[in-house]
Amino acid sequence: MKLKNNLKTIRLTREEEAQITRFLEEDLNIHRFSDLARAAIWEFLERRSGPQSSKKLSFLWEYDLTHGEITAILRGPQKRRLWLVGKILEHGRWQEIWEYLDIRTIQKDLPLLRMNSKTKKHWKHALQLWKKAA
């Protein structure tokens, strides 16, 4: 790999490029090569860190997404991002929520989320309290 403007350049064969293109067309979570590379790096790091990182996340019991895929969705198109932010806020453990979201994201997305009204009301109240405390 050559270093160019602090970016790594990857050279692919035509067959590799065709395989990646097919994968990107089929995968619902990854739309660009940079997302694919980011997800692959996260998955590699998770495998190296041991079995504790492979536990199922509380907000994704029905999906098998890696940390990299979750991060890609949260940085991606609004519709997909809102779906995942809602799942995290409704079903995530406290530690998981803050691993993937921050207060600014919650403030921005909360009005747009389709989620349990009681849970949404609690998050609105929490945001108001935190704003007063700041």
| Residue with the two structure tokens 């160019």 | 4
Q: Kindly indicate the confidence band of residue 53, based on its pLDDT and cuts at 50, 70 and 90.
A: very low
pTM: 0.61
* 48-81 exposure pattern, b = at least 16 Cβ within 10 A, e = fewer: eeeeeeeeebebbeeeeebbbbbbbbbebeeebb
Determine the straight-line distance between the first and last CA of the chain, rounded to whole angstroms. Answer: 46
- Percent of the chain whose predicted confidence (pLDDT) is above 90: 37
The DSSP letter of residue 56 is: P
pLDDT at 86: 95
Tell me the C-alpha distance between 20 and 12, whole Å: 10
